[in-house]
Each structure stands twice: as C-alpha cells, then as structure tokens.
C-alpha cells in the first residue's frame, strides 16, 4: 500500500458524502474506507441522515419559477468539503422555501397551562417548521449533536442567554426521565436562537428551541405534527418556544408544560 490511502481527511469524507468529488477521487475514498471500518460506519450514518432529511421534505419540493429565483438570489455555490451539518442546514432551508405555507400542522387541544388558553391556528407558523428542521438535523447526530455539553451547563446558559438577550434558565426535565445533552446556537427567524437537547435512558431525544419574537405577537399553546415529529410551541413576550420530539404526544405535552412552567419562573425572576 502507498501513503495515498492514509491521507483522507474529514473534509474529503464530507465531500464524498455530498457528491462533490470526481470519479477518481470517489474511488480513492471508497478504497480507503474498505480498510477503515470505523470511518466507513460514520460515513454510512451521514448518508442515512442526508437521505432521511431529503425524504422528510420530499413531498414539499414542488418548484415554480418564482421559487427558483428566490433560492438562486444571493446564493453562492457550496464549497468542496463543507461539513455535512452545514450542508444539511442549506438543504433544509431550500426545501422549506418550497414548503412555505404548506405545513399547517395538526392543531388540536393539548396543553393546559395557567392563563394560556388554546387557540387553533388559521395560518402556518414558521416556529414549528424551524424547530422540526433543527430536530431532524441534530437529534440523530452521533458525534456532534451539541456545541456545548451538559458538563458546562452554567456556561451554556450564559452564552445562549447573552446571544438571545434573555435570562435563560435551562429546564430540568429529570422528572420525565430526560437529562440534558447540551445545546447550540441556531438561527431562528434570521436571528440568533438557542436549541437545548435532552435524552432519556433509551436514547430518545427531545429538543427545546428558543428564538426572538420578531413579529411582536403572542400565541397560546399549539401543536404541529408532521411525519411523526411533533412540536408543542408558544410565543410569550419577546421569545418563542418550541418543544419537539418523536415521543408519545402525552409525554411531549408534559415536557412542554414543565418547560413553560420553568421558563415562566425564569422570566419572572
């Protein structure tokens, strides 16, 4: 063997998954993967994530001339070696442009919280779409689901709270079997938002998304459901909140209720 098979970088692996390599380069990467089972398994996971995301939004990909113009405006070609998680965000954003106005969700009576009467949405909201997209991208991530882990919870709360200009108190969901994995900075409505991730003993994950309320409005508790992914969400004052997961609705409702209770306590303090 020559040294050329020992020079495969992570960027090259991402480029291989994203289809940005020439045929000779693809063959070189495939030959290298045959002798390296651990990276080969990770590559298979990346490919599965990309396929799952594409499948989830496939029903929305109905393009029109105006859609193509909107997507093309100001958009640069992706660079070879762009990390997969960044590429997936672009894929999700592009497909969600086609989906704008299509995802109405299944709105039904759900959470009973103090002074928060249920309202039935007449028009689709962007918050649950963004929360579900973030969940699909990050909840299945094995190595890098979060930027800051639970072992730095104090730093995580301070960092994300500062970016949101919000006194963030990270909810404790241990009563429902969920422990904090960590969190990351994510875009919400074009501004800095926060995503917190939790996991139970079986590996099931739920995410809590927070973003600035750019529309200066409030909503009661609502639920949006699509493809097995459900989101309980509400907008209160300057912040929108969304709790998302693929767990039983009754459990997700309890988790959302608890998040609401703890966030209310945070804003009141």
End-to-end CA distance of the chain, in Å? Answer: 65
| 46-52 own/partner pairs: CB under 8 Å, 24+ apart | 46/13, 46/14, 46/17, 46/84, 47/17, 49/84, 49/88, 49/137, 49/140, 49/141, 50/17, 50/18, 50/84, 50/87, 50/88, 50/91, 52/136, 52/140
pLDDT tens digits, the chain, 269 residues: what are they? Answer: 444 445 788 778 878 888 888 888 888 888 888 888 878 877 887 777 666 666 555 555 555 555 555 545 544 444 444 455 555 555 554 445 434 433 333 333 334 444 444 443 333 468 899 999 999 999 988 888 999 999 999 999 999 999 999 899 999 999 999 999 999 999 888 889 999 999 999 999 999 999 988 776 777 889 998 888 999 999 888 899 999 999 999 999 999 999 999 998 655 44
Q: What is the pLDDT of residue 119?
A: 42
* pLDDT score recorded for residue 252: 95
Ordered by start, the domain boundaries in the chain are 3-96, 104-268
Query: What is the per-residue pLDDT for 151?
Result: 94
Task: Output the six-digit token pair for 223.
Answer: 């639920």
Q: What is the pLDDT of residue 37?
A: 81
Q: What is the pLDDT of residue 58?
A: 54
Stated pTM of the model:
0.57
The predicted structure's pLDDT at residue 86: 53
**pLDDT score, position 64:** 55
CB atoms within 10 A of CB 167: 12
Specify the pairing of strand 239-245 against strand 229-236. antiparallel
- Rounded to 5°, the CA angle 265-266-269 comes to 85
Q: What is the pLDDT of residue 72?
A: 52
126, two tokens: 């962007």
Give CATH superfamily name and number for 104-268: MucB/RseB, C-terminal domain (3.30.200.100)
């Amino acid at each position: 063997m020559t040294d050329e098979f020992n020079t495969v970088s992570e960027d090259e692996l991402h480029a291989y998954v994203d289809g940005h390599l020439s045929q000779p380069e693809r063959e070189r990467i495939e030959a290298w993967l045959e002798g390296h089972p651990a990276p080969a398994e990770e590559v298979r996971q990346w490919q599965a994530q990309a396929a799952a995301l594409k499948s989830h939004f496939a029903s929305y990909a109905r393009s029109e001339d105006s859609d193509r113009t909107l997507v093309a405006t100001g958009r640069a070609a992706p660079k070879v070696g762009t990390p997969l998680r960044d590429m997936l965000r672009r894929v999700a954003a592009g497909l969600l442009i086609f989906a704008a106005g299509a995802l109405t969700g299944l709105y039904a009576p759900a959470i009973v919280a103090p002074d928060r009467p249920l309202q039935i949405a007449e028009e689709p909201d962007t918050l649950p779409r963004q929360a579900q997209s973030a969940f699909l991208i990050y909840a299945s991530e094995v190595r890098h689901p979060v930027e800051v882990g639970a072992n730095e919870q104090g730093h995580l709360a301070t960092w994300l709270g500062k970016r949101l200009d919000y006194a963030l108190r990270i909810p404790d969901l241990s009563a429902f079997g969920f422990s904090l994995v960590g969190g990351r900075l994510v875009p919400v409505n074009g501004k800095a938002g926060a995503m917190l991730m939790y996991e139970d003993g079986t590996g099931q994950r739920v995410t809590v998304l927070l973003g600035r309320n750019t529309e200066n409005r409030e909503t009661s508790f609502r639920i949006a459901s699509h493809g097995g992914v459900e989101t309980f969400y509400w907008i209160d004052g300057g912040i929108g909140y969304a709790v998302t997961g693929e767990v039983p609705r009754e459990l997700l409702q309890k988790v959302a209720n608890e998040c609401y209770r703890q966030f209310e306590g945070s804003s009141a303090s």
